[in-house]
């Protein structure tokens, strides 16, 4: 399944616009997951992408946006336009593209 994960800083400050944009992403068929550093620190340390960014940049890396397991953005929240571009360019997982060992074209 296509997935976007948002790793929020402990303050969790984001506007209502971003929350609405995430709802829109969910309506496009993506699983949306959000995690808060203050209440779910183990999720941050157990995700290798997130851990690598935090080890490198510290709290300045937050928020982190992970799209289908890959780092999409760090240090700020994306706009809806950015997320729309990610969705349009995101490859389908093999389970959705391939059938009988052959990929659709």
65: Cβ–Cβ under 8 A, 6 or more apart, which residues? 4, 5, 6, 7, 71, 72, 73, 74, 77, 78
Checking if the pLDDT of 76 tops 90, the result is yes
Count: domains in the chain? 1
The enclosing domain of 34 has a CATH number of 3.40.30.10
- Quote the pLDDT of residue 34: 95
Question: What is the mean pLDDT of the segment spanning 67-86?
Answer: 94
Domain that holds residue 51: 3-103
The two three-digit tokens of residue 74, written as one number: 């760090």
- In whole angstroms, how far apart are CA 45 and each of 35, 48, 72, 81, 83? 12, 7, 18, 29, 25
As beta bridge partners, residue 5 has 33, 66
Q: 104 pLDDT band (50/70/90 cuts)?
A: very low
């Amino acid at each position: 399944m296509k997935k976007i994960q948002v790793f929020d800083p402990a303050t969790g400050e984001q506007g209502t616009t971003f929350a609405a944009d995430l709802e829109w992403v969910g309506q496009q068929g993506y699983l949306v997951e959000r995690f808060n550093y203050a209440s779910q620190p183990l999720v941050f340390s157990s995700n290798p992408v997130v851990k690598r960014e935090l080890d490198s940049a510290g709290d300045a890396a937050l928020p982190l946006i992970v799209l289908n397991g890959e780092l999409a953005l760090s240090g700020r929240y994306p706009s809806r336009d950015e997320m729309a571009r990610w969705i349009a360019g995101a490859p389908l997982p093999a389970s959705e593209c391939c059938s009988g060992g052959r990929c659709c074209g």
